[in-house]
Amino acid sequence: MPNLASVLKAEIQRLARKEAKASLATTKQASAHHRRDIARLKREVADLARRLASLERQLRKQTGRSVPKALAAGARFSPRSVKSHRARIQVSAADYARLVGVSALTVYNWESGKTRPQQQQLAALVAIRGLGKREAWKRLDEMDE
């Protein structure tokens, strides 16, 4: 006859495994559901990022950031002229950068003479060189909309 203690121990282990399996089933289902949700959200974020990039490209085309390089032919660049034009139209470096299509740090580096604009950027600078204060603010407002 088997030992009563070993039979009792085996039965307790069997029941414990059965209970653990039952309680883990809901956790496994919840985990699978969460993984599906995370995957769906990642797909949505990727889709939205693609749409945003597309809209930004369209906006750049509409706002005239795509300026022909021919405007830069023969144009001169002076850090003082960038700084004085920005002061004349009374915009911040960040807003001036939005008008040109570059970052605010780029405008700062131009004004301090640390860097020079590339050909496309120089063409954009030439294109906004004649802007007055009202026209500049109007363009900035259009960009915000």
Residue pair 93/111 in contact by the 8 Å Cβ criterion: yes
pLDDT digits (tens, 9 = 90+) for 110-132: 999 999 998 888 888 888 888 88
Q: What percent of the chain has pLDDT over 70?
A: 90
User: Quick one: which of 130, 6, 16, 2 has its CA closest to 75?
Assistant: 130
Query: Strand, coil or helix: what is 129?
Result: coil
> How far from the centroid of its chain's Cα atoms is residue 138's Cα?
25
Query: Strand, coil or helix: what is 117?
Result: coil
**Cα within 13 Å of Cα(108), Cβ side:** 6
pLDDT digits (tens, 9 = 90+) for 60-71: 666 555 555 666
pLDDT for residue 15: 92
**What CATH number should be reported for the domain whose range is 69-144?**
1.10.260
Residue pair 123/70 in contact by the 8 Å Cβ criterion: yes
> Structure pTM?
0.53
pLDDT digits (tens, 9 = 90+) for 78-107: 899 999 999 999 999 999 999 888 999 999
